[in-house]
């Protein structure tokens, strides 16, 4: 049994989320992989206004959005979306 747990761990992948928002003061990656926790995945800004966050995820399908200066934004680099319970769209990522 422990062998299966080890192989499960090796299947996890490092995913880099990227967002261009040069005017933003804060960007947060939020999704079902972090229970939509607004404090868990703050993004880092480079000198050119690009925000990034690396997250390690197990294989599966995930919904996510960016919270930029208190406003929800979809990922402009991902056209895979699904309706959410708030009447807006979430991005979908398949790992």
CATH value of 2-94 in 1.20.140.10, 2.60.40.10, 3.30.1310.10, 3.30.420.40: 2.60.40.10
- For 27-64, the pLDDT digits (tens) are 999 999 999 999 999 999 998 999 999 999 999 999 99
Alpha-carbon distances of 70 from 26, 66, 82, rounded to whole Å: 8, 9, 21
Task: Using pLDDT thresholds of 50, 70 and 90, give the confidence band for residue 9.
Answer: low
Mean pLDDT of 4-10: 54
Task: Using pLDDT thresholds of 50, 70 and 90, give the confidence band for residue 1.
Answer: very low
Count CA within 13 A, CB hemisphere, residue 80.
8
Task: Using pLDDT thresholds of 50, 70 and 90, give the confidence band for residue 88.
Answer: very high
Tokens read off for 83 = 């309706």
């Amino acid at each position: 049994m422990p062998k299966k747990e080890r192989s499960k761990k090796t299947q996890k992948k490092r995913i880099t989320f990227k967002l261009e928002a040069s005017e933003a003061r804060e960007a947060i990656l939020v999704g079902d992989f972090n229970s939509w926790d607004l404090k868990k995945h703050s993004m880092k800004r480079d000198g050119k206004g690009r925000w990034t966050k690396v997250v390690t995820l197990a294989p599966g399908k995930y919904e996510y959005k960016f919270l930029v200066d208190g406003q929800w934004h979809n990922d402009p680099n991902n056209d895979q979306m699904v309706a959410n319970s708030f009447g807006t769209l979430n991005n979908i990522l398949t790992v």
